[in-house]
Amino acid sequence: GCPDVDSDGDGLVDRLDECPDLKGTAKNKGCPRKGAVKLAGDRIEFKESIYFAVNKDVIQPRSFPLLNSIATVIRAHPEILKVRVEGHTDAQGKLDFNMSLSDRRAKAVVTSLVERGVAADRLVAEGFGPTRPVADNATRDGRTLNRRVELHVIQTAEPKPEEE
């Protein structure tokens, strides 16, 4: 077989490294202490936000490094067959507009990840608008938390046994 690769040089091979593009520690499963993108069960977690132009599906350039990291994590885990990119909005404005906006934003993230080398057939976009809030829409902080993109692993392959 092919030798395992350690892209970030932290001593953990990419298939065992939850943050294959960032130097980390074995204790943190290959991730630095905070702010990293990591595979956590059936989710791809990241602390930063993906930022968009107001009321549009245009991703702001300040989110490009985060998208690079997300793409690297997905590419480093070939056992992940399908990821659902979810778009969410707050409850301000009309429901139809928010449903459409969340869907277009999820599709924009999918396009961005494909441009970064993730196979298109591994990604699916879905917009949920304001239907799945994580915080109170009556407060500014709550609305900020509800405007988000989440990535959920929805299909995986069984890992292949190690060849000896």
DSSP, res 59: B
Question: Within 13 A of 30's CA, how many CA atoms are on the CB side?
Answer: 23
Predicted local distance difference test score (pLDDT) of residue 136:
96
Q: pLDDT of the chain along its 164 residues, tens only?
A: 667 888 888 888 887 877 777 777 777 777 765 557 888 889 999 988 999 999 999 999 999 999 999 999 999 899 999 999 999 999 999 999 999 999 999 999 999 999 999 999 999 999 999 999 999 999 999 999 999 999 999 999 976 555 54
Other beta carbons within 10 angstroms of residue 75's beta carbon come to 19
Question: Would you state the pLDDT for residue 161?
Answer: 59
Separation CA 23–CA 82 (nearest Å):
26
Q: How far apart are the first and last CA of the chain?
A: 9
**Per-residue confidence (pLDDT) for residue 142, from 0 to 100:** 95
Contact between 105 and 56 under an 8 Å Cβ cutoff? The reply is no
- What is the structure's pLDDT at 19? 73
